[in-house]
Amino acid sequence: MDLAQSPRQSLGRARALTRRTVLATAVAVTASGACAGQPSSAARRIDGIVWQLSRQTLRPRGGWERLGVRRLLVQWSAVDGQSFVEGAGLPLIGPDLPDWYRIASEPWARDVILGLSGLHDEAWSRASLKELAAQSRALALAAAPLPLRVSGWYFPAEVDPTWAGPELLAEALRELPRPLWISAYDSANLGPGALADWIERWLPRDVGVFFQDGVGVHARTPEVARDYLVHLTRRLGPSRVRVIAEAFRPAPNGGFRSATADEFLPQIDAYQAWPIYAFDGPHYLGDERVRELVARGVGPG
pLDDT tens, position by position, 145-183:
999 999 999 999 999 999 988 999 999 999 999 999 999
Contact (CB, 8 A) for 49 and 278: yes
In the chain, what percentage of residues exceed pLDDT 90? 85
Tell me how far apart the alpha carbons of residues 138 and 141 are, in angstroms, rounded to a whole number: 5
Q: What is the pLDDT of residue 37?
A: 38
- On the question of pLDDT at 29 being above 50, the answer is no
- On the question of pLDDT at 100 being above 80, the answer is yes
Q: pLDDT-based confidence at 278, cuts 50/70/90?
A: very high
**Residue 174 half-sphere exposure, CB side, CA atoms within 13 Å?**
9
Cα four-point dihedral sign 187, 20, 175, 151: negative
In tens, the pLDDT along 192-244 reads 999 999 999 999 999 999 999 999 999 999 999 999 999 999 999 999 999 99
Q: What is the pLDDT of residue 266?
A: 98
- On the question of pLDDT at 5 being above 70, the answer is no
CA distances from 122 to 172, 173, 202, 224 (A): 16, 17, 20, 25
Is omega for the bond preceding 280 within 30 degrees of 0, making it cis? yes
Interior/surface letters 187-209, b for 16+ CB within 10 angstroms, e for the rest: beeeebeebbebbeebbeeebbb
Confidence (pTM): 0.89
Q: pLDDT-based confidence at 38, cuts 50/70/90?
A: very low
Contact (CB, 8 A) for 27 and 232: no
Long-range pairs for 205-208: beta carbons < 8 A, 24 or more residues apart? 206/178, 206/179, 206/180, 207/173, 207/180, 207/181, 207/182, 207/240, 208/152, 208/179, 208/180, 208/181, 208/182, 208/236, 208/239, 208/240, 208/241, 208/242
Contact (CB, 8 A) for 8 and 22: yes
Q: What is the pLDDT of residue 54?
A: 95
Average pLDDT of span 73-86: 98
